Structure 1
Amino acid sequence: MKHLFKLRNTLLLIAIATISFSCSDDDSDPVIPTSNYSQELTNIANNVIVETYKDLANKAADLHNEAIDIKTNITASNLDNARQAWRSAREPWEKSEGFLFGPVDSQGIDPAIDSWPVNIVDMDNLLSNTSGFPTITENIISNQTNEAKGFHLIEYLLWGIDGNKQVADFTSRELEYLVAACANLKTKTTELYDAWKSNGGNHVANFLNAGGTGSIYVSQKSALEDLVDGMITIADEVGNGKIETPFNGENGAGFDPTQEESRFSHNSKLDFANNVRSISNVYNGKFTIDGKGISDIVAESNTTLDETFKAQILEAVEAIEAIPGTFTDAISNNRTSVATAQSKVRIVQETLETLIKPLIVNL
């Protein structure tokens, strides 16, 4: 995602100019109107973004442990535990997609952990190359193409192409690949968390010090604009990509279930809903701690818009969750419900683009 760098509110310059033309003997100090959004930026950066990445890193580590357990003792119970650990790690990742900027982009972490569709050919080539790679390690996986590692490759190994893989279907090489891929996911998500936290790469300081020395943001407003752009990007991706492509195909060619993300695990609906929740988390300033967010800024100018947008977010999540059965089945057998969910997500995007972003731009 490209960062937008714009000059802050011109009111300050206008005020200064006005003062210069109105010198008098009045002893009172001139009042220069300013706005400060430190509370909103600090809360969103620390308590939403950093905490989401912390949760992701911890749950990726749990998934790696479960993969080790499967390799050590491949049982139906351990397989179920690993699958649940994948779903648990997937949740904070999808809830982070409302802010896919910064290290997740610049360090190539997003494509390294969430490329779709999977490259089964490269995976199979590595699995069969026992002479060249007698043992599959994390280092080997890290050098695989992005589509042959990360969440969806792990998903494929755990569930299989039709989502019904059994314990007896696993080979020892697949278990090696699984452990190594989960180790790589753990490494990349830890790198992401470390890049943001204050005692690591400290990318969070760009928001805490927006408009100050050392920040990539020339003003607090430009930081807020980046947050809004992040919300717009994921709303567009869900409504016009993740739902649209399997629902109607490329360029309207007809539904194509092979393009459905997270289809092996049938986790797609939850993925989509959590993507919309990522918008809610940034807007409301809440992940686990409830603090100030974009909502507080919008409400100061337009309480009706704030309440309307909150309702639109909720309606989009509810419409996604109301799709009957799996998304795979719904795109052919419950198309009306899918279309309704898609329209609700598009409404969220439209409100962000046409009402909320202009409000932030004109602060």
Structure 2
Amino acid sequence: MKALISTLALTSILVFSTATAAPITPKDTMNTYVNIAHASFADSLSTAKTLKVAIDEFVSNPTTETMQDAKDAWLAARIPYGQTEAFRFANPNVDDWEGQVNAWPLDEGLIDYVDSTYEHEDGNSLGEANIIAGKEKIDMALLRSFHEKGGSEANVATGYHAIEFLLWGQDLNKSKTDAGLRTFTDYAKGTDCTNGNCDRRGEYLTAATDLLVADLNDIVADWAPEKDNYRKTFLALEANEALRRMLFGLGSLSLGELAGQRINVALLAHSQEDEHSCFSDNTHVDIAENARGIQNIYTGTYKRVNGETFKGASLAELLALKNPELSKSLTAKLAISQSKAADVVKAAESGEYFDQQIAANNSTGNARVQSVIDALRLQTGDIEAASKAFGIPSLSADSSESTGG
């Protein structure tokens, strides 16, 4: 009897080992992809809900402390959201939706009062509209109606960066280490109110946050399992088309968007106005989390905000079946990009924020930022090579923005 049990146990182990040793397939990586999408957008939603709680408390009881709590919640919410951007260019549901939640840069005068030195985008007739000083009822519908109104992308009325502006105000660089210096009294009651319209400013901040939560609810539903939704559509794609989309998304964020639009444009112009999170001086985190999002998808790994780590079949493993050396090379280059982005973060955490690192008189900071661009360009080359290894002849990752070479 013992011999029979031992034989059965050994057989079970061998069967399990054989099953787990089977090479992964493109379908396996597609399942990992949609699971990471759902988890990262769900984390973005949960942190936005935490932000809503903090903002509701701040608006009802504006103090230095409640304002800081709201700012801290906004900063925390940007961490998981930044990682979702690797899904943007690959998936029309994300690309069409993204402008509602993450559009930038914005003409601040559309929303609120601005400094006398303020200049809006040329030709934007709403660049000084000041919705908060107006008479129309402020609610989610009004904000949606003003978003990109008149065909101007500078008319950003909704999303993370509208909320950021309402919490920090313009970054006027009163000192090198200061972000925007808006005070809680911009939301104070009665005679303590500064800069007028404090009640309406609170209404705008509340509506913008409610709208952010609603928009994130929509995108989470798109990726939820066992629903008739975009996730189901993606999983029904032919394997090569799914691989093409995944790699196109990674390459486009890596080169055209992150290396180009979000870093190099600002570096070439030495311009704070071209940095991503300019009001809060949080651009260094945006860069690092975007780079991490690319790495997440390639390695099939995502660390959730609760500390749990998801791991599934990865593009790295799939590529290793085709070209082991290329798989190792891309893994290494992604790690280098993370390291270079971490250098920018470390400098920012020491008080040299991104706007100072890109300043014209800061050769050391410029070189540090340039090293991130260079690393992203190199990893994009390997992403494009990976597509060819999978039999996808032309990836054509979006490189529409200058990356310096």
TM-score by length of 1: 0.81
- Structure 1 position 320 matched with structure 2 position 341: yes
Q: Give the deviation of 1:277 after TM superposition.
A: 0.8
Q: Which residue of 2 aligns with 1:241?
A: 261
Q: Distance in 2 between matches of 1:37 and 1:242?
A: 31
- Which of the residues 286, 290, 307 maps onto 1:271? 286
Q: Which residue identity does 1:181 align to in structure 2?
A: A
Corresponding residue of 1:81: 69
Q: CA RMSD in A?
A: 1.8
- Is 1:51 matched up with 2:56? no
Residues 179 and 201 of structure 1, relative CA distance in 2, 3 Å threshold? farther
- Name the structure 2 match of 1:256: 271
Q: Give the superposition deviation at 1:362.
A: 5.2
Unaligned 5+ runs, structure 2: 1-22, 113-129, 149-155, 172-179, 188-197, 303-308, 394-405
* Alignment-derived partner of residue 240 in structure 2: 221
Question: Match of 2:382, SS?
Answer: helix
Q: Which residue of 1 aligns with 2:122?
A: none
Contact 1:102 1:203 in 2 (8 A): no
2:315 aligns with 294
Aligned equivalent of 1:157: 166
Aligned partner of 1:282 among 297, 307, 314? 297
Letter in 2 for 1:140: L
Distance (whole Å) between structure 1 residues aligned to residue 87 and residue 209 of structure 2: 23
Shift of 1:43: 1.6
Shift of 1:235: 0.3
Q: Which runs of 4+ in 1 moved over 4 A?
A: none
CA, structure 1 residues 307+186, in 2 after alignment: closer, same or farther (shift >3 Å)? same
CA apart distance, 1:248: 0.2
How many Å separate the matches in 1 of 2:276 and 2:28?
Answer: 36
- 8 A contact 2:329–2:382 mirrored in 1: no
Residue 144 of structure 1: how far off its partner (Å):
2.0
Instruction: Report if aligned partners of 1:120, 1:148 keep a CA contact under 8 Å in 2.
Output: no
Match of 1:22 in 2: none
| CA–CA distance in structure 2, aligned partners of residues 92 and 201 of structure 1 | 25
- Deviation of 1:156 after TM superposition, in Å, equals 0.6
Q: In the alignment, which residue of structure 1 is the partner of 2:147?
A: 145
Secondary structure at 1:161's aligned position in 2?
coil
SS in 1 for 2:311: coil
State the 1:198 CA deviation: 2.7
Correspondence for 1:3: none
Of 330, 336, 352 in structure 1, the residue corresponding to residue 383 of structure 2 is 352
1:164 CA displacement: 2.2
Out of 223-232 and 113-122, give the one that drifted further: 113-122
% identical aligned pairs: 24
- Indicate conservation of the 8 Å contact 2:170/2:279, yes or no: yes
2: CA distance between counterparts of 1:207 and 1:95? 19
Alpha-carbon distance, 1:128 to partner: 0.9
Amino acid corresponding to residue 283 of structure 1 in structure 2:
Y
Q: Which residue number corresponds to residue 6 of structure 1?
A: none
Tell me the CA shift for residue 258 of structure 1.
0.8
Shift of residue 343, structure 1, vs aligned partner: 0.7
Output the CA distance in 2 between the equivalents of 1:159 and 1:111.
Answer: 21
Cα pair 2:358 2:366 within 8 Å, conserved: yes
Kept in 1, the 8 Å contact 2:24–2:313? The answer is: no
Q: Note the C-alpha offset of 1:201.
A: 4.6
Specify every segment of 5 or more residues in structure 1 that has no aligned partner in the other structure, as ranges: 1-33, 209-214, 250-254
TM score, norm. by length of structure 2: 0.73
Contact 1:103 1:196 in 2 (8 A): no
* Residues 178 and 241 (structure 1), Cα distance of their counterparts in 2 relative to 1, 3 Å cut: same
**SS of residue paired to 1:168:** helix
1:194 touches 1:201 (CA, 8 Å); kept in 2? no
Match of 1:24 in 2: none
Deviations 1:152-209 (A, max 9, x none): 111111111122222123322211111110000011111111122135452112333x
Count of equivalent residues: 310
* Deviations 1:313-357, CA, capped at 9 Å, x for gaps: 11112112212221100001211111112111111112112x111
